[in-house]
Amino acid sequence: MMPSYETEYQRSLSDPAGFWAEKADILTWHTPPQKTFSASFHKEDFHIKWYEGGTLNLSENCLDRHLETRSHETALIFEPDVDGPAKTYTFQEMHKEVCQIANHLRGLGIKKGDRVTLYMPMIPEAIFSMLACARIGAIHAVVFGGFSAASLADRLDDCESALLITADQGQRGGKIVPLKENVDKALSLSQKKTVQNVLVFQHTGATVSMEEGRDLYAHALPANADCPAVEMGSEDPLFILYTSGSTGKPKGVLHTTGGYGVYTTHTFKDIFDYKPGERYWCTADVGWITGHSYLVYGPLLNGATLVVHEGVPNYPDAGRIWQIVEKHKVNILYTAPTAIRSLMAKGDAHVTAHDRSSLRILGTVGEPINPTAWTWYKDVVGENRCPVVDTWWQTETGGILISPLPQDPTRQKAGSVTKPFYGIQPALLDEQGQEIEGAGEGALVIKHSWPGQMRTVYGDPDRFFDTYFTTYPGYYFSGDRAMRDEAGDYWIRGRMDDVVNISGHRLGTAEVESALNTHNCISETAVVGIDDPLTSQALMAFVTLKKGKTWDAEAFPNELNHILRDVIGPIAKVKIFVPAGDLPKTRSGKIIRRILRKLSEGQGDQLGDLSTLANPQCVEDIQKTLKVGKSV
Ligand code: WT7
């Protein structure tokens, strides 16, 4: 019999080295690890290392080792944007595709440690390309296909990519995404010009411009499916993934091989209770961490059968997601609260029109899920027979840290992520940085390293330490606030820093402000997140104008959102603009966001002492603007 969660959890804390050494056996290693871990979150000896001495290759673990027993079983089912024939790949076929791409990369001179950026639609080749990089030890950096050319250029420059992999176009909800066109723009914007070649997959078949000598169609290259996997050290980098923080430009979160592999394999196996032969569908895009850990690595390391969908869950109508569940007999579904809320709003008939009897487990991730949406997901979608796993984690954590285990009925609690996974030691800290015992609410930190933890910010190790380990010395600070109830279950409250979560997409207010400030009439902006019933949060921007300029309520909001689209991408869109004469500042000229946040929440009566402000009058003015609804 399986030991209970409590027994296993206690063992993982009392003997982490023994526990995680045993867990490493789930992967196939060339050389077994010598030392399970060595880590310190303190400045003097700051380091994080897992499974040192071990060597392995994750592409081999995802594919080759399944060939012996299940080479002819389905590994991937691809469902196009609009309902049509699905395309399937067996493990054998997928292995061949991956090896061919890996050989293309080698042919283009890519070697272990080189950075390869992917700017891809949600097609099988996106997954194959990631695994092809892993196979030859190249570090993949996937950039979400919804990001703009300027964002892509920034990321190419930051990691000095040698190669860019893309497709002619993508398709999303009936719309064309001009990927290759954006790539051309990005390469002309790139400052460092490190990209030597662009490997292009033909997807829609549209004619796109191809620069001779630089751009190559994948299908035109010689096919060679014999590609041995490179033996990687456990701490060799696997990928970089950019994510927004409270300051500056997005940072390149770096994950390594051994610990990430072990952690994603176990969390996937236990939290989704995966059983061989089951079909698993994660609706996240490969451009996000969910797409890395629980679309590609976690499932494939377990030999799962993946459903991959290029489109969006509600196109052409709100029944599409359930139609796909029925069509492919999906057993496990992993999606986001935003999707659940928007589908719920369209009514139950879209759901009940489709047979969902294959469904066994329902997952959610990305934002707090409100109890109403949770209950709808469980009762209507899952016919009250499928456990819901509300999983809390972050790009930085590599894998799920707090989540129910589906077998445990006491953990079906609407709105709570319940309890930590094995080996994870969360704590809540009060304003003095003291640990709160028992029930309470505070800053959510993690006390001990875990195998899937990020290792550094690419090219900026100081930023890694400063961002996550200085607010509360000795702890990893998540940036989230959480509550723990009497039963010891966790409830995520949201971000405490200047990060805004819109439909599960992370944006730093600093990035948004610096883009808005490029408008020639704008002097200064301050952006805050406001609650939104559908998208969890939305952006509110307080803007001041240059001398002599007046606010144009017709033109400015469009112009400003247009800039955001160009600089960041369509996910960055301000919902409410608030023109202001001045922004509340300290005497040294620093904008006090806390006040703006309170004003945006309609809590102007709870501002506290304003006497230290350089310009207290502006607060009243902003309040008036907000009250008379002059904001647009
Ligand atoms: C932030 C991380 C991890 C995959 C997707 C997002 C929020 C994530 C939950 C949840 C409440 C959640 C947190 C976290 N978040 N999952 N189940 N309940 N909030 O990854 O872009 O790195 O964002 O998403 O605020 O810090 P990410």
Query: At 428, is the pLDDT very low, low, confident or very high (cuts 50, 70, 90)?
Result: very high
Indicate whether residue 285 lines ligand 1 (CB < 6 A): no
Please give the distance, rounded to the nearest whole angstrom, from the Cα atom of residue 253 to the centre of ligand 1. Answer: 15
Choice among 81-95, 486-500, 604-618 with the minimum mean pLDDT: 604-618
Percent of the chain with pLDDT over 90: 93
Question: For position 504, what pLDDT does the model report?
Answer: 86
Q: Is the pLDDT of residue 589 over 90?
A: no
Dihedral angle computed from the Cα positions of residues 450, 27, 94 and 400, in that order, rounded to the nearest 10 degrees:
-20
Ligand 1 in reach of 287 Cβ (< 6 A): no
Domains of the chain with bracketed CATH: 55-411 (3.40.50.12780), 499-627 (3.30.300.30)
What is the overall mean pLDDT for the chain? 96
Extract the tokens encoding 521. 């009439």
According to DSSP H, which parts of 239-366 are helical?
258-271, 289-291, 298-301, 320-328, 337-345, 349-352
Q: Give yes or no for residue 354 CB within 6 A of ligand 1.
A: no
Report the SS3 class of residue 196. coil
179 Cα: distance to centroid of ligand 1 (angstroms): 27
Taking the CA of residue 364 as reference, the ligand 1 atom at the shortest distance is 17
Q: Is the CB of 166 under 6 A from ligand 1?
A: no
Q: Whose CA is nearest to atom 14 of ligand 1?
A: 394
- CB under 8 Å, gap of 24 or more: what pairs does 546-552 form? 546/520, 546/521, 546/522, 547/523, 549/521, 551/579
pLDDT of residue 631: 59
Coil, strand or helix at 402: strand
pLDDT of residue 629: 66
Query: Residue 2 above 80 pLDDT?
Result: no
| Res 1 pLDDT > 90 | no
**pTM (predicted TM-score):** 0.95
> Above 80 in pLDDT, residue 532?
yes
What's the pLDDT at 528? 95
Ligand 1 within 6 A of CB of 391: yes
Tell me how far apart the alpha carbons of residues 226 and 262 are, in angstroms, rounded to a whole number.
27
What is the rounded average pLDDT of the residues 505-526?
Answer: 94
Ligand 1 atom 10: the closest Cα is on which residue? 392
- 36-50 pLDDT, tens digit per residue, is 999 999 999 999 999
Tokens in use for 247? 């300051």
The β-bridge relationship of strands 139-142 and 237-243 is: parallel
CA distance 341 to 367: 12
